[in-house]
Structure 1
Amino acid sequence: MNRSLPQFPGGTSVSDLRVYDFASADGCPGGTPHLHTASAEAYVVVGGRGEVHTVSAAGEARDPLEAGSLLWFTPGTVHRLVNHGGLHLAVVMQNAGLPEAGDAVMTFPERVLADPEAYRAAAALPDQEDERADAARARRELALEGYDDLLQAVRRDGAAALDRLHRQAAALVRPRIDQWRRIWAENVEAEVEATRRQLDALADGDPGRLGDATVFRGDPQPEPRLWGMCGRLQTWQA
């Protein structure tokens, strides 16, 4: 389901994230480690304290987060949010509609990543709201199991271990690509083309789309917040 705002600037999406604070097996409360296969992501820290742990072509990193911090990363970066107290973020995603359509792949263990049916079952949350908290925790713990395996493999084998995860992620999302192309064309590509036409108009001294100037206002989606991979999400509707 596409939960992004229509015509948000540049074909991006924005959400308000309160990072999970329930304890994890390794003692770091926070979100589910995952990567995005097609979209960059940015964090603007609104309040609280925490860290984001990443694994990328540059290796492992841990970046502290506090109010005013800004951090972003490209597709393929494995990331995990850790909440040290009240961590609250504004999240900006590239390619609005693709993250909502399954652009993310969680770092489940090898046995799950290698089996598309097992992956879908592990990633899904129940329809019943009162069952979602426990399911979100269980999903995160399973991803942390695979994340620990990944860290050990990266420390042992270097970039080859991350390349294996990337290939598994690509195989998992491959059946969705035709749908993603349609979403991207209707949103991101359409925004790019609109800017191209506007630049051409301005070059000719024509105001172009300026006469269609419009203000959009977003209202928060009704509670409860969504159960995301990293925390409780608030989105908006136009």
Structure 2
Amino acid sequence: MVSSTESAGPPGAFTGLPGGVAVSHLSVYDWPAADGVCGGTPHMHLTCSEAYVVTAGRGAVQTLTTSGYEVTPLAPGTVAWFTPGTIHRLVNDADLRITVLMQNSGLPEAGDAVLTLPPKYLADPETYAAATVIPADAPVAEQERIARARRDLALEGYQVLRAEGPQALAEFHSAAAALVRPRLAEWRERWRRGAQAAASATGEQLDRLERGDVSHLAGAVVRAEQPSARGKFGMCGRLEVYPAG
């Protein structure tokens, strides 16, 4: 993902992506699951909204919230988004490709996504990590094996959540929050440098314009990035990953 972080520049400057968002390109997994559906790993974000801009193919996103289960079709031109607390599973019907926009750049990479693993795997960070982490230095075949295994494990928990209803969902919410609590201070700092800094920069620019001060316009910058890695095994599919900054 391209990450929006606080950058050097004139007063009031923020040179990351607009609004402190992140962007990545996603090719959704075409691996069939036990239920016959091809697609990604169901999971939930705790502080980040997420948006899909569908660029190719066809599929859907299954979502589970306290309002119930829904299926949203995805086709080229569709823009779909959802807020924190939405368990989501991408379904690939035909070469589904998506540009993903993520709120609070840096937080998803820092752990603001909890897979719907069965409860015993959510007991503590070490147990969760053992079931979910893909070593970056592992051979590609091994990375794929782990990604597929954790997808299938998350589907087990997801199917239970769908079947058992609100009480099971509430218990998952509590377990997910407890799992990430040790990382909240780190998340807050990432948010401060990213999304909060972006919003604060706009406020400062408005103040300057009100005073007739246009000095921040003289510090305008243009940036462009190419992916620093291609084919990374993400939760929902293979990713084109962009450098932070």
Normalised-by-shorter TM-score class: over 0.9
- 1:129 corresponds, among 134, 139, 142, to 139
- SS of the equivalent of 1:219 reads coil
The one-letter code of the counterpart of 1:9 is P
Partner of 1:44: 53
Report Cα offsets for 1:60-80 as digits up to 9, x if no partner. Answer: 100110000111000010000
- Which residue, 160, 164, 170 being the options, matches 1:149? 160
Question: For residue 71 of structure 2, what is the aligned residue in structure 1?
Answer: 62
Q: Structure 2: which 5+ runs fail to align?
A: 6-15
Q: CA deviation at 1:57?
A: 2.5
Using the TM superposition, name which of 81-90 and 162-171 deviates more. Answer: 162-171
Q: Count residues with an aligned counterpart.
A: 232
Q: Which of 209, 218, 232 is the equivalent residue of 2:216?
A: 209
Tell me which residue corresponds to 1:191: 198
Length-normalised TM-score, structure 2: 0.91
Deviation at 1:116, TM superposition (A): 3.0
Q: Is the 8 A contact 1:226 1:232 kept in 2?
A: yes
Match of 1:171 in 2: 178
Identity %: 50
Give a deviation string over 1:152-171, Cα, whole Å, max 9, x none: 111xxxx3332211111100
Compute the TM-score of the two structures, normalised by the length of structure 1: 0.93
* C-alpha distance in 2 between matches for 1:52 and 1:138: 20
Instruction: Give the deviation of 1:53 after TM superposition.
Output: 0.2
> Amino acid of the residue matched to residue 149 of structure 1?
V
- For the Cα contact (< 8 Å) 1:221–1:236, is it kept in 2? yes
Identify unmatched segments of 5+ residues in structure 1: none
Structure 1 counterpart SS, 2:193: helix
- Over 4 Å off, 4+ runs: none
RMSD, aligned CA: 1.4
